[in-house]
């Protein structure tokens, strides 16, 4: 099983003069942690949206866990996404009135697969993940997400992405609001947690100081040679 395989992908935003994506091939092995770097505006977020099935890709194939995401229709695609993909984006998309713990458990509410892969006590698993990611104070787990700092919200988003061992985590510059020390510590924890869960990690960033936390690093501009 390949968590991710991309073949001959071309994507142009509606109305755009040129393609944003033109990628011949990209794949990730199980548990592999890939750092994809490139300057602002080069198409990194567009690629993650295409992999998540948020934008439709008419040309080429994107296979997640060996399944062609483009072949799935709306509802099936949403279910497939929560079953197989964890996402950590710049805006963490936590539900503000739910507690940190409830936010972490959301994928288990929407996905039987993630629930089954969360062990016999999913709430205990969620607490462990928060603890391992540096949110060990139990009072924080019960606080509404809206009352957490940005760094704390980021840890909740990471625990939510990791719970139930998805095949793939997509991370889009999740460290942009953090200082250098917090950033390195967070990426280190995330990479370690992925290795432990056997979850592949695709992390996009313009910040090459983070590169050494990963198994492999790819230059987006070189990869995206086919964009025209």
Ligand X SMILES: Nc1ncnc2c1ncn2[C@@H]1O[C@H](COP(=O)(O)OP(=O)(O)OP(=O)(O)O)[C@@H](O)[C@H]1O
What is the contact surface with ligand X in residues (CB under 6 A)? 13, 20, 38, 40-46, 206
Nearer to ligand X, 102 or 172 (CB): 172
Work out how close the CB of 206 gets to ligand X at its nearest, in angstroms, rounded to a whole number. 5
Nearer to ligand X, 19 or 111 (CB): 19
Work out how close the CB of 136 gets to ligand X at its nearest, in angstroms, rounded to a whole number. 31
Longest Cα pair distance anywhere in the chain, in angstroms?
Answer: 52
HSE (CB half, 13 Å, CA atoms) of 63? 15
CA–CA gap between residue 161 and residue 150 (Å, rounded): 16
Extract the tokens encoding 208: 């090459």
Work out how close the CB of 195 gets to ligand X at its nearest, in angstroms, rounded to a whole number. 25
Nearer to ligand X, 143 or 206 (CB): 206
Q: Compute the CA torsion angle 3, 117, 201, 149 (nearest 10 deg).
A: 150
Q: Is 217 exposed, middle or buried (0-12, 13-18, 19+ CB in 10 A)?
A: middle
Strand arrangement, sheet containing 200-205: 85-88, 168-172, 200-205, 33-37, 216-219
Neighbouring residues of 212: CB distance < 8 A, sequence distance ≥ 6: none
Work out how close the CB of 201 gets to ligand X at its nearest, in angstroms, rounded to a whole number. 17
Nearer to ligand X, 92 or 100 (CB): 92
Nearer to ligand X, 43 or 86 (CB): 43
Nearer to ligand X, 18 or 120 (CB): 18
Work out how close the CB of 11 gets to ligand X at its nearest, in angstroms, rounded to a whole number. 9
Q: Compute the CA torsion angle 214, 171, 191, 101 (nearest 10 deg).
A: 180
Work out how close the CB of 71 gets to ligand X at its nearest, in angstroms, rounded to a whole number. 23
Nearer to ligand X, 168 or 197 (CB): 168
Distances (CA, A) of 42 to 28, 30, 223: 21, 27, 11
């Amino acid at each position: 099983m390949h968590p991710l395989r991309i073949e001959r992908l071309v994507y142009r935003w509606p109305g755009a003069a040129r393609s944003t994506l033109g990628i011949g091939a990209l794949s990730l092995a199980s548990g592999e942690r890939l750092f994809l770097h490139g300057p602002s505006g080069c198409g990194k977020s567009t690629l993650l949206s295409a992999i998540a099935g948020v934008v439709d890709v008419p040309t080429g194939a994107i296979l997640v866990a060996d399944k062609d995401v483009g072949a799935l229709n709306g509802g099936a695609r949403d279910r497939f996404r929560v079953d197989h993909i964890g996402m950590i984006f710049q805006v963490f998309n936590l539900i503000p009135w739910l507690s940190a713990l409830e936010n972490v458990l959301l994928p288990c509410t929407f996905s039987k697969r993630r629930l089954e892969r969360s062990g016999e006590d999913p709430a205990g698993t969620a607490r462990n993940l928060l603890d391992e990611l540096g949110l060990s104070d139990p009072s924080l787990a019960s606080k509404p997400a809206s009352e957490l700092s940005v760094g704390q919200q980021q840890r909740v988003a990471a625990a939510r992405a990791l719970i139930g061992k998805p095949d793939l985590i997509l991370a889009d510059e999740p460290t942009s609001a953090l200082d250098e020390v917090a950033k390195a510590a967070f990426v280190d924890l995330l990479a370690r947690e992925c290795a432990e869960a056997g979850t592949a990690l695709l992390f996009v960033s313009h910040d090459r100081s983070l590169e050494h936390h990963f198994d492999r690093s790819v230059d987006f501009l070189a990869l995206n040679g086919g964009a025209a």
